Chain A
Amino acid sequence: MTKTITLAQGNGGQENNELISKVFYKAFANEILEKSEDAAIIHGGELAFSTDSFTVSPLFFPGADIGKLAVCGTCNDLAMMGAQPKYLTCSVIIEEGFPVRDLEKIVRSMKKELEVNGAVVVSGDTKVVPKGSVDKIFINTTGIGEVLKKGISSNNITQDDLILVNRDIGCHGATIFAAREDIDMSSSLESDCASLFPQVKALLDADIKITALRDATRGGVSAVLNEWSKQSNICIEVEEAKMPVSDEVNGICEMLGFEAAALANEGTFVLAINKEDAHRAVEILKTFENNSDATIIAKVTDAHLQKVILNSSWGTKRFLDTPSGELLPRIC
């Protein structure tokens, strides 16, 4: 590992994992933490508990803003453990000179998204720091959810499961990249930022046999699949042609040399569902807004344990690796 922290260590991929395991897990090691789930399951399995900090540039972008992101992020982590988000804390670190009007706008977005989840902010903290100490505003939210369905875990996936996604992938990452000031590009893309609890609730209400859920944030779908392949000691074989990618996202990937599966999402999740229920789950997911592309993308095998394989439509295979490094556009 490097002697000083680099941006690559916050990418949700290999370097990030290394930093977490060598510094934080080493110091904090305990049985709950080591399960490496989206949210910790505590209190005899009754509660889910998670935290997330948010920094994004620009603060307002097509489809969402940092406020919506801050509520969705933590609530989605809870939802991924089959829990209903209930209570959140909200801490903000604000840079001197930040417009109050923008702060109000951010808080309004947070309120709206809390309502979608049926959650409330019950505690908070505010710090203001001198200009230059943070980039405009950082938000941390921590949440507690009530587990509606026990036993959902990324460590239990088997060959009896199929792997699904709820919608087309990569929209958030592509939007943010296109909106960043140093890449001059116009597009009609919008972030997928959305609260996922309503979708999880619908699946639970229909008694779908859910093995695992994970929202594909930093590192994208490929990071989730790689984590699952290792946590459950399985091989995941993805049919490349079935992976839903919009034309806009594909276009940006083509121009800049990215892979849609490695781009971040904020309202896209990956599901491991028992084969018997997988098609029914797809139908339920499709009833939600923006989810018309919900589909089965992969099966679980034992071909290369702890690896993800991508099958092309012309019969070749390759590994889909955990993304590494900073997301940088290709040169020519």
Chain B
Amino acid sequence: MELELKNLYDDFRDGNTIKAYAKMIKEDAKKLNKPINIMEVCGGHTHTIMKFGIPQLLPDNIKFVHGPGCPVCIMPKERIDHAYVLSMQEKVILVTLGDMIKVPGSKGSLQDARSKGADVRFVYSPLECLKIARENPDANVIFFAIGFETTTPMTAALLDAVVKQDVKNIFFHINHVTVPEVMKELIDSRDVHVDSYNNRIDAFLGPSHVSVISGSRIYEEFPRDYKRPVVVTGFEPVDVMQGISMIVKQFIEDRCELEIEYKRLVTYDGNKKAQELVEKFFQKGDLFKWRGLGNIPESGLRLKAEFSEYDAEVKYKDVLPLEEIEDHKLCICGDILRGMASPPECTIFGTACKPTSPVGSCMVSSEGACAAYYKYGNLI
């Protein structure tokens, strides 16, 4: 039989399997001695959970805390303003991924810039920048690079090609961030921005695609040092149900471990080749500002000094704005991300803050917690 795409997901959406897991989780949850809050770190998981109605299948003593793992949601206005200003420069084509172009900074979104005449394009693969640069030799193509461990290797592959082919008109504005650092901030920080003293996160569902690249080992410290179990989980509803079941079993069996649900592709070490490519070009930056959370140490990547000739932040430093922009006062995204509030508790949720006019980080992309609540509703 020929393998088709649907073979890869059909079984993982099987109604009977999902119902069977729901029944098992309900039975197991009766043995829990306290309610548990599970943070799904990644926006892709938030999307699955809301789209497939998973909270409706869980008992009252298991709740989700929707994490900060959406690269578009966490992008601070300062960085979006950079993209906006860059796109408005003469002879610049600004290229980025997917719905990054929808998110407003303080000057507007990249969509707005485009409607004012800027050449803004989105690509599915960063390597498409090579073609754009070739077809527009008089323009500078600036790749506004975003994403977690999953998309960083693609940016590295583009830079690798740019260096090898000696392409002179592609530049990079790097906004890559890493998952473990923000997880740590959410459970163990006394920073003014991220005071996690009252966080209510008992366990983590780790995103599988991040670990396909980085391995499961990046989460080792959470069960060991912070007493939070982690289960690296896939994105289909059956995966998520199985991941939850594994977490519940850890609690009732009094275990606290790092486990892999997504054994189809995740190993302990991950994709070494991709990691080497990333290490060749990038190093950890001191601080990266996260929308809704503030500055988090060592959570962002930047280009190594020897590649600064490709760095748009160096080449265009004279035009890039530097001023800090505060998050909206009424927005409670920070609390939502720490599990201390849910989206409907926000006073501007669905009124001043909607997907078409987002105020806070959790509403800006379809993968944010507030956007998922708004879109799919909560029928229970």
Contact = CB atoms under 8 A, between A and B. Distances in A.
Given A251-B5, A331-B151, A324 B379 contact: no
A247 to B, nearest CB: 5
A7 interface: yes
Contacts of B116: 4
A332 B150 contact: yes
B111 A8 contact: yes
A5 B148 contact: no
B112 interface: yes
A247 B3 CA distance: 12
A184 interface: yes
Interface stretch (A51-59, A78-86, A312-320): A312-320
Contact of B375 (A312, A314, A315, A319): A319
Contacts of B134: none
B35 to A, nearest CB: 21
Contact of A182 (B19, B50, B54, B128): B128
Contacts of A62: none
B4 interface: yes
Contacts of B71: 331-332
Contacts of A304: 379
B53 interface: yes
Interface in A256-285: 256-257
A317 B379 contact: yes
B53 A319 contact: no
A166 to B, nearest CB: 23
Interface string A147-185: 000000000000000000000000000000000001110
B6 interface: yes
Interface stretch (B92-100, B159-167, B246-254, B296-304): B92-100
A307 B15 CA distance: 24
Contacts of A314: 15-16, 18-19, 22, 52, 57, 237
A319 B18 contact: no
Contacts of A34: none
Interface residues of A, number: 39
Nearest to A15: B356
A316 B111 contact: no
Interface string A217-248: 00000000000000000000000010000010
Contacts of A198: none
A257 B319 CA distance: 35
A319 B377 contact: yes
A5 B115 contact: yes
Contacts of A254: 5, 9
Interface stretch (B119-127, B222-230, B320-328): B119-127
A126 interface: no
A312 B16 CA distance: 11
Given A321-B375, A331-B72, A7 B51 contact: no
B98 A331 contact: yes
Contact of B356 (A247, A317, A325, A331): A325
A30 interface: no
Contacts of B50: 318
A304 B376 CA distance: 13
A14 interface: yes
B149 to A, nearest CB: 9
Contacts of A186: none
A6 interface: yes
B124 A329 contact: yes
Contacts of A309: 379
A250 B367 CA distance: 20
A7 B111 contact: yes
B257 to A, nearest CB: 26
B124 A317 contact: no
A319 B9 CA distance: 23
A326 interface: yes
A328 B379 contact: no
Given A4-B112, A331-B99, A247 B6 contact: yes
A254 B376 CA distance: 18
B146 interface: yes
A168 B172 CA distance: 42
11 contacts: A250-B6, A254-B9, A307-B377, A314-B19, A317-B379, A324-B355, A325-B99, A330-B367, A331-B98, A331-B146, A332-B71
Interface of B: 4-6, 9, 15-16, 18-19, 22, 44, 50-54, 56-57, 71-72, 97-102, 111-112, 114-116, 121-125, 128, 146-148, 150-151, 209, 237, 355-356, 366-367, 375-377, 379
Q: Which 5 pairs show the lowest CB-CB distances between chains A and B?
A: A316-B53, A313-B15, A319-B377, A332-B150, A314-B15
